[in-house]
Amino acid sequence: MASVQWVFNFANAILGVSLLALPYCFKECGIILSIFMILLCGYVTKVTCEYLLRTANFTRQSSYESIAFHLFGPIGKFATEFCTIGLVLGILISYQIVIGDLAPSVVYNLVGIQNSPKLRAILMVISNFAMLPLCMMKQVSSLSAFNFVTVAFYILFMFIIFWYALSNMLLNSFWDKVDLWNSYAIFRCLPMIAMAFSCQTQVLMILSALPDPTMKAMVDVINSAINLSATLYIGVGLFGYLAFYPDYIYGDILDNFAASFISDFIKLGFWVTGVLSFPLILFPARTAINSILFHKQRENEHRDSISTADDYIASDIYTYITLGLVFGTLIIGILVPNIEVVLTTTGAVIGIFLCYIFPSGLFIVASGNEKMKRGAQVILLVSVASMIFSTQAIITPVHPLKAKSDAVKLTETTPLRNVNIEIDNIGIDRHLNTYIDSNELALDSENAVKVKKVNVLLNDPHGDFLLKEIENNDLSNNENNIATRENNMVNQENKILNNEINDVNRENNILNNEINVVNRENNIVNNENSRNFNLDVDKNQNDSLISLNKRFLKQLYEMDINDT
């Protein structure tokens, strides 16, 4: 049974930013084809790693470069080291891009600093200074705790993606809305999946660091780590596709997450794991650069690269190479914002060659087992064909469409799949696959669709490529339309606000008039009350006078009677 510590160490050498691109591959190639490619690449990776172990045993060498030197001489050694540098640089640049994509979003949500290219560059520089002490570590075993944390987070991320996908998975009709097999994009996604399993440059380095550096122990570590990695790749790819298939799926699945506490936690986690995983990836590139530029060879002698850096690199050279790799990839990561571009380009050319073609070739030359050699020959031929077709699919140029051809003519009701459209500027009919957002469709009685907006992929004989001019024009028009609509909405809101203010003023005027009327009525009432009071006073006075006169007359009368 393989040690969990070394399984996680090797799994972290396999896993990485490629995990974020797997949902995009599932969307492009379909669920079944993507799972098949992951399982196939995982199996071939196990076989080629075993080829390297057996070849090292045959030749009594303990590093990839020394095996190539032993079997093919200086040319083989230089080719191995050059490809190792290119492959590792591609992976390191991908880590830098992911850090640059995640850090500004996390900082914005935490402290409210607006995202900008300047902030992205500053945070990438800070992150690189933070991981520089880890990059200076000279033993793989020193990174074991960090590797465990990183792989544990990747497992947690798969379960979070599953939770996001659960609501769509509970719908019985989701199978009718997702793609199961799309072979048109196989040579665009195969390099990314092959790149996701690229670990052959780390095999002999991990072997030399094992407490029990035997072939059986290393095979157990390889099989366990690749099984774990394949499970995570299938889980994240499948659940990521099912979680976001109604929308466009980006090359970096984190771009599909809406702002929330969970998405901030995921982004922060990948930011931290990127910083922790970066140092482990440095080891083979640092070894190869030292061997090419600084390592002095004696005739018929080649010193091996092992996992303790003090044994093969002088301290000052070790520092210079580390600083150059860290800050060199930092600069490229700032300038190149698209992770899928780096993964496909590096995986198609260097990844397939170094991880599948060259180990098979070394084993064929060194081994005497004819049965196993035939298997290696099959892997070699298939890998060469895959590298050629994948490279051609990636470098196929985009046709320079003019303004006239930018408006691709579609009939009012166009079938959802496989329509033939004549592009005016090119003057030929080409087979087009259209992908149409289900929210922008209207099905008619003939099961056709009325197209409001389409993204068109051209099915070229050598692979599909995006009509970038159409997409860019549509994107520019959409941005202008959105800006116009936002301005109209602002103007409409201002008009509504002005109307509300006028209504309030009118209501205030009406209220003031009513107050004036009430005041006038109060004045009238007061005047009437004052007059009534005066009348009452006059009446009382008259009554008093009358009563007084009556008493006076009565007295006079009584006096007259007395006199009489």
Rounded CA separation 118/124 (Å) = 10
Examine residue 328 and state whether it is found in any structural domain, yes or no: yes
Which of 395, 429, 461 is the C-terminal boundary of a domain? 395
pLDDT score recorded for residue 127: 92
Is there a single domain that holds both residue 510 and residue 386?
A: no
Is there a single domain that holds both residue 87 and residue 232?
A: yes
Contact 121, 334 (CB under 8 A): yes
pLDDT score recorded for residue 333: 87
Examine residue 234 and state whether it is found in any structural domain, yes or no: yes
pLDDT score recorded for residue 153: 94
Instruction: Match 């030292």 to its residue by tokens.
Output: 290
Rounded CA separation 364/359 (Å) = 9
pLDDT score recorded for residue 478: 62
Is there a single domain that holds both residue 108 and residue 227?
A: yes
- The helix/strand/coil state of 421 is strand
Which of 336, 361, 395 is the C-terminal boundary of a domain? 395
Examine residue 45 and state whether it is found in any structural domain, yes or no: yes
Secondary structure, 3-state, 297-339: CCCCCCCCCCCEHHHCCCHHHHHHHHHHHHHHHHHHHHHCCCH
In the chain, % helix, strand, coil (3-state, to 5) comes to 75, 5, 20
Is there a single domain that holds both residue 386 and residue 498?
A: no
Examine residue 557 and state whether it is found in any structural domain, yes or no: no
> How many CB atoms neighbour CB 299 within 10 A?
4
Which of 347, 371, 395 is the C-terminal boundary of a domain? 395
DSSP string, 426-463: TTEEEEEEEE--GGG--B-TTS-EE-S--EEEEEETTE
pLDDT score recorded for residue 295: 66
442-447-450-456 Cα dihedral, nearest 10 degrees:
110
Examine residue 378 and state whether it is found in any structural domain, yes or no: yes
What total number of domains does the chain contain? 2
Rounded CA separation 268/233 (Å) = 20
pLDDT score recorded for residue 517: 85
CA distances to 50, 141, 178 from 222, rounded to whole Å, are: 9, 17, 33
Is there a single domain that holds both residue 87 and residue 198?
A: yes
pLDDT tens digits along 246-282: 778 887 888 888 878 888 899 899 988 888 888 888 8
pLDDT score recorded for residue 171: 76
Question: Any idea what DSSP says for residue 349?
Answer: I
Instruction: Match 């080409």 to its residue by tokens.
Output: 430
Q: Can you read off the two tokens belonging to residue 348?
A: 């198609």
Instruction: Match 């160490």 to its residue by tokens.
Output: 9
pLDDT tens digits along 7-40: 998 998 899 878 888 999 999 899 999 999 999 9
- The helix/strand/coil state of 53 is helix
Q: What is the CATH number of the domain that holds 286?
A: 1.20.1740.10
Is there a single domain that holds both residue 238 and residue 367?
A: yes
b/e 228-249 (16+ beta carbons within 10 angstroms → b): bbbebbbbbbbbbbbbbbeeeb
Whether pTM > 0.75 for this model: the answer is no
Examine residue 554 and state whether it is found in any structural domain, yes or no: no
> What is the amino acid identity at position 110?
L
pLDDT score recorded for residue 381: 94
Rounded CA separation 493/64 (Å) = 68
Contact 14, 226 (CB under 8 A): yes
Point out the residues of the chain with pLDDT beneath 50: 1, 297-311, 398-471
User: Which structural domain range is residue 241 located in?
Assistant: 1-296+317-395
Residues present in the chain in total? 564
Examine residue 432 and state whether it is found in any structural domain, yes or no: no
Is the alpha carbon torsion for 52, 57, 63, 66 positive or negative? negative
